[in-house]
Amino acid sequence: MTETDLGSKPRATLATIPFNEVDKTLVADDHFLFLTLASASFVEILSEMYAGNLIQLFKEDKTLTKWLAECWQKEEVQHGTALKTYVQTVWPEFDWKTSFKAFYLQYSALCTIDQLEAHKSLELMARCVVETGTSSFYRALQHYVREPVLRQILALIKADEVMHYNHFRQYFSKYHAIEQHSVPALIMAIWRRLGGIQSQDAYIAFKHVHQGFYPHRQFVPADWTNYSLTVKRLARDHYPFAMAIKMLLKPIPLVTPIRKMVEWPLVGIAMLFTRA
């Protein structure tokens, strides 16, 4: 992997997104979509903080840190800015700035280098998990949405997230060749990050978006529970389960027959989870 390869993909910019053409009638009454987009904008923009932790962890790897600083970090923030602009275009009554400030104060206390995996290859595996989650999430959301401008935004973001996954997977392979963790250790790293996604990112962002949109109503855990049930229900029709399972399994050093043997049962289990 060369630095040229890492920076060769043309980058979409906000200038390519026609926010003035948004058809508000297709989305303005979709409360679920508002909560989802606003929460995602919070998390994406704060990727800049997480990038700083990764750069510190991999400070001796100049190629990786260059990509993190010049590509990954900037693109993640760009995603958040695009979602923020869309939210402000469709729901101008939402005080994005104030709600984000509250989210920042809570989440920044948790987003520290101490929260990273103890081994570099395991942290890169964890990053693959996150990029799997984001790319499949945006693919599902694109499938759900009918508003053309938003579909364009989501397609651009999803393409970037898949590219980020591929880069992290390649760097994982490099460090795994040195550290040589067992398959169970890799699976446990995946499991830890799957649990962390909900507790640290989505939940905290949702809470502050909800509080900002309903300033006169106290946020309660049931608000998150009800939202999560809606996510599960919509996932049955829109979530790319096979895509997500393939991406999660790909970095794990399994022989092809075993990979194929476990892939579809895992897809089935994931789909059953949405019916729980």
Q: Sorting pLDDT into bands at 50, 70 and 90, what band is 179?
A: very high
Tens digit of pLDDT for each residue in 4-16?
Answer: 344 445 555 556 8
Tens digit of pLDDT for each residue in 31-61?
Answer: 999 999 999 999 999 888 889 999 999 999 9
What is the CATH code for 3-9+17-273? 1.10.620
Q: Where are the domains of the chain?
A: 3-9+17-273
Task: Give the Cα separation of 14 and 156 in Å (integer).
Answer: 11
The model's pTM is 0.88
Tens digit of pLDDT for each residue in 220-262?
Answer: 999 999 999 999 999 989 999 999 999 988 998 876 778 777 7
191 pLDDT higher than 90: no
